[in-house]
Structure 1
Amino acid sequence: MNRWGMAVVGALCMAASACSGAKPVLYPNAHLQSVGKDVAAQDIEACKQLAESAGAEEASGKGSRVATSTAVGAGVGAASGAVGGAISGAAGSGSLIGAASGAVWGLLTGIFYAFAGSPQPNQAYANFVNRCLQDKGYEVTGWQ
């Protein structure tokens, strides 16, 4: 495998394994004040594990978004390269160059949005964790 291929595979692996790192923000109600931050952190982790065991996934499909962005970039690049190549008389090489540059652009855009995008977890996962924490007496004000 050449260096470019290894770089692409490495970037896709990093993007696919990226975690949102988001956690619920708790309102400082009487329950939180009575149990303290350490117990609250343990309860958050317990609710997260319960959500995952129920089938809710924290990740919101970042790896698939990167792959989709790469594929769309390649398709758009190939089409625009073919048009440009047809005008200049070299449609085949134009579409090849366009596809390669479009794929790289799509990959980089996808990776950027996977890492710099919203830290929000999957909605079903967040709802599950929120409900679990609410049942324990906490008030979730949001996620960050």
Structure 2
Amino acid sequence: MNTPARMFAVCAAWAAVALLSACAASGPGSPSARPVLYPNATLNRVGEVQGRAEADACMARAVSAGLTPEQKSNEVGRRAGEGAATVGVASAVGALITGRGTDGVLRAGAAGAAVGGSAGAVSGAFHSDRPNTTYRSFVQRCLSEKGFDVIGWN
């Protein structure tokens, strides 16, 4: 059963998941995004380097106020549970319909739950990385009070 082709397919699938996870962890919708400053009079006067330093100071101030860049949720666990329940029940029902007997139904249900739980956990990992809007509002207000204009996050 563990042929080189099958092992290669499994490794390729895991590599694809890792690559997609890395891509999902950056960009304007990720918690690692930074404020983008509009080149207004304040930024033009102090320069880009000082503008980044002020943004860093505001982000540190938000963290010291108890905020985090990412919104905390249990998305991975929730989706893993949903996937395990959904695919496990579907597999068991499918085994019942095809007449596999009690032992076959239990095996199909357990295998389906394992596959569904894994798929749900991967799905949850892709959806759990949401930016915290309160954190971003705090940073934007802090920068605004210093004369900067935040036009987005990148």
Give distance in 1, aligned partners of 2:132 and 2:144. 18
Pick from 124, 131, 137: which aligns with 1:127?
Answer: 137
2:65 to 24, 38, 54: 54
**How far, CA to CA, are the matches of 2:90 and 2:72 in structure 1?**
28
Identify the match of residue 76 of structure 2 among 66, 69, 86: 66
Q: Which residue of structure 1 lines up, in the alignment, with residue 11 of structure 2?
A: none
Match of 1:33 in 2: 44
Letter paired with 2:76: V
Counterparts of 1:1-144 in structure 2, within 5 Å, are 20-61=31-72, 64-88=74-98, 89=101, 90-113=104-127, 121-144=131-154
Q: Distance in 2 between matches of 1:61 and 1:109?
A: 16
Which segments of 5 or more consecutive residues in structure 1 lack a partner in the other structure?
1-6
State the 4+ residue runs in structure 1 displaced beyond 6 angstroms: none
* CA RMSD in angstroms, aligned pairs only: 2.5
Which of structures 1 and 2 has the bigger CA Rg?
2
The AA in structure 2 aligned to 1:35 is V
Most deviating of 127-136 and 88-97: 88-97
How many correspondences in the alignment?
A: 126
